[in-house]
Amino acid sequence: MELAAVGQGARAFLYMERYVIEGAKTYSPLASRTEAAVRYQPENEAPSFGLVTVCAPRDRVSLFQADPVPGLLRHFVRPEGVLFPVHPATWRNDAAEGIEDIRALPPSTPIQVAPTASTRTVLALEQLQGVPDHYIKLHYPVRISRFNRELRLKNIHNSVAVCSDLAHVLFDSFAYLPDSLGVALGAGGRAWGFLVREARARPFVAGRFLIPCFALYAGDLKHPESPPLLVQMIARLGVDPVPFVIDRVLGPIVACWATVARERGILLESHAQNTLIEVDRDMVPRRVVHRDLDVWIDPGARRRAGLAMPFLGRGMAADTDEEVQGHYSLVYDQFLGHHFFDYVLVILKGYYGADEELVRARVREIFRRFFPDADRLFPAGTMFKFRNGAPPDSKATLEDMRQAPGWR
């Protein structure tokens, strides 16, 4: 893919989501595993597929809002009921919880969508008057990577609550794609549904374009001869590679993550799939845009900051200091460091002969500057990761890697 194509906006972004992914999922033995049918996977050749929709009575759904755009709210919440989309694989799954009740509801017009990098989050393709571009995150109870991709009431509630909370983050390089509307159908914690994610970042700045961070270093499945977008960006801008990548990419990501964690107790999962770089028309990175807000919350951090806990569940579900430290390490050391920054480092070393330790040291300085009290929350001298050998249907557990952290 040519960097100039990024200026095509939504069309280019969807292409990057689906095809600029070569080599991006090698960070774990489970990263590329999927039970999704080929036709629903992002890299398949089909341009779209249809979501089944029904009209759900308003009194049978739980509705969650974080200041959605009025056109979106009107599109999904209608006088006759709530437009309720269902993934076609879930619709056909007789074992899906409550599916018979949903099949009995009045049908509505199918929605044509295209899959994105996460598979179960899809882009609505129809251009309807008054309805802005948006994504739909679906209940899709198949295993993709490590987890079964259910979307329960708790996940929906917490995603929208985090979206509302992030409106209080005032940081120049920080933005997010809002999960501004959520719907769950059914009773109790087993209820499931969908989230609507707006395609326009908040706070909005005109004349900007988005690049998924994995597309900065991944290969293009359709054009393998194209150099990585990050290499093209460095050449186009004529900049010194190492200072540019640290100052414009890695550094702002660390600063955003640390600021949100310290000030709000929200541990954004800022790996390369959930993190986007916003560039201007000259392809200069300007902000870090975060998406997928069903994340861990640190109740202790929010309590110390005098913030409420408008979230369901027990936050990080951690009972000891060691467990809290394990969660912080997993999200920063693994999701940011190993799953993302290590890949950028390969580009810097392979194309420019960068000094690995110099890059790591510079990023560590930025981390310490924005998270000066990190020693209280992170494990000393080691990192934690998900245990790879756990049975496929068991709860994910953490294990001590007994390795020194490289990025903090």
Which long-range contacts (C-beta less than 8 Å, at least 24 apart) are formed by 94-99?
A: 96/139, 96/141, 97/186, 97/190, 97/192, 98/185, 98/186, 98/190, 98/191, 98/192
Q: What six digits make up the tokens of 356?
A: 């690995």
* Gap between the Cα atoms of 318 and 327, Å rounded: 8
Percent of the chain with pLDDT over 70: 96
Query: Mean per-residue pLDDT for 84-111?
Result: 96
pLDDT of 99 above 70 = yes
- Where residue 59 falls among pLDDT bands split at 50, 70, 90? very high
Domain finish residue from 139, 173, 198: 198
* Residue 359 shares a structural domain with residue 392: yes
Note the Cα 219 to chain centre separation in Å.
20
**CB count, 10 Å around CB of 310?**
14
Domain finish residue from 170, 198, 226: 198
* Residue 216 shares a structural domain with residue 146: no
**CB count, 10 Å around CB of 52?**
18
- Where residue 85 falls among pLDDT bands split at 50, 70, 90? very high
Supply the pLDDT for residue 190: 86
**CB count, 10 Å around CB of 159?**
24
193 within 8 A of 187, measured Cβ to Cβ? no
Q: Does 4 map to a domain?
A: no
3-state secondary structure of 171: coil
Q: Bridge-partner residues for 278, per DSSP?
A: 210, 287
- The residue ranking higher by pLDDT, 187 or 208, is 208
* Gap between the Cα atoms of 20 and 26, Å rounded: 14
C-alpha angle 250-280-408 in degrees, rounded to nearest 5? 10
In the block, tokens 């999922």 appear at 25
Q: Bridge-partner residues for 199, per DSSP?
A: none
Domain finish residue from 173, 198, 223: 198
Q: Out of 31-35, 235-239, 303-307, 350-354, which region has the weakest mean confidence (pLDDT)? A: 31-35
* Gap between the Cα atoms of 216 and 235, Å rounded: 13
Phi, psi (degrees; rounded to nearest 5) at 187: -110, 145
pLDDT of 397 above 90 = no
* Residue 187 shares a structural domain with residue 288: no
pLDDT of 391 above 70 = no
Q: Does 382 map to a domain?
A: yes
Q: Does 406 map to a domain?
A: no
Going by C-alpha positions, the residue among 301, 295, 329, 297 that lies closest to residue 400 is 329
296 within 8 A of 315, measured Cβ to Cβ? yes
* Residue 180 shares a structural domain with residue 323: no
**pLDDT tens readout for residues 274-303:** 999 999 999 999 999 999 999 999 999 999
Query: Mean per-residue pLDDT for 57-80?
Result: 97
- Where residue 231 falls among pLDDT bands split at 50, 70, 90? very high
What CA dihedral angle connects 288, 289, 290 and 292, to 10 degrees?
A: -160
**pLDDT tens readout for residues 117-153:** 999 999 999 999 999 999 999 999 988 877 778 999 9
Q: What six digits make up the tokens of 318?
A: 């951690």
Query: Mean per-residue pLDDT for 147-175?
Result: 95
Going by C-alpha positions, the residue among 16, 17, 51, 42 that lies closest to residue 125 is 51
Q: Does 16 map to a domain?
A: no
Q: Most distant CA pair in the chain: distance in Å? A: 62
Supply the pLDDT for residue 147: 72
Q: What six digits make up the tokens of 1?
A: 């893919």
Q: Provide the domain count of the chain.
A: 2
Supply the pLDDT for residue 388: 75
Q: Does 15 map to a domain?
A: no
For residue 286, give its domain range.
209-400
Report DSSP state, residue 220: P
pLDDT of 316 above 70 = no
Name the average pLDDT for the chain: 94
CATH of the domain at 229: 1.10.510
* Residue 124 shares a structural domain with residue 224: no
* Residue 178 shares a structural domain with residue 279: no
Is 324 exposed, middle or buried, given 0-12, 13-18 or 19+ CB atoms closer than 10 A? buried
Report DSSP state, residue 247: I
Q: Bridge-partner residues for 196, per DSSP?
A: 136, 181
Supply the pLDDT for residue 315: 60
Looking only at the bridges linking them, the beta strands covering 285-290 and 174-176 are parallel
- Where residue 11 falls among pLDDT bands split at 50, 70, 90? very high
Query: Mean per-residue pLDDT for 263-273?
Result: 97
Supply the pLDDT for residue 149: 86
Supply the pLDDT for residue 395: 64
* Residue 51 shares a structural domain with residue 154: yes
Q: Does 230 map to a domain?
A: yes
* Residue 49 shares a structural domain with residue 115: yes
* Residue 246 shares a structural domain with residue 163: no
* Gap between the Cα atoms of 223 and 2, Å rounded: 9
356 within 8 A of 349, measured Cβ to Cβ? yes
Supply the pLDDT for residue 83: 98
270 within 8 A of 251, measured Cβ to Cβ? no
- Where residue 203 falls among pLDDT bands split at 50, 70, 90? very high
Q: Does 386 map to a domain?
A: yes
* Residue 217 shares a structural domain with residue 189: no
* Residue 112 shares a structural domain with residue 243: no
Q: Does 19 map to a domain?
A: no
* Residue 216 shares a structural domain with residue 357: yes
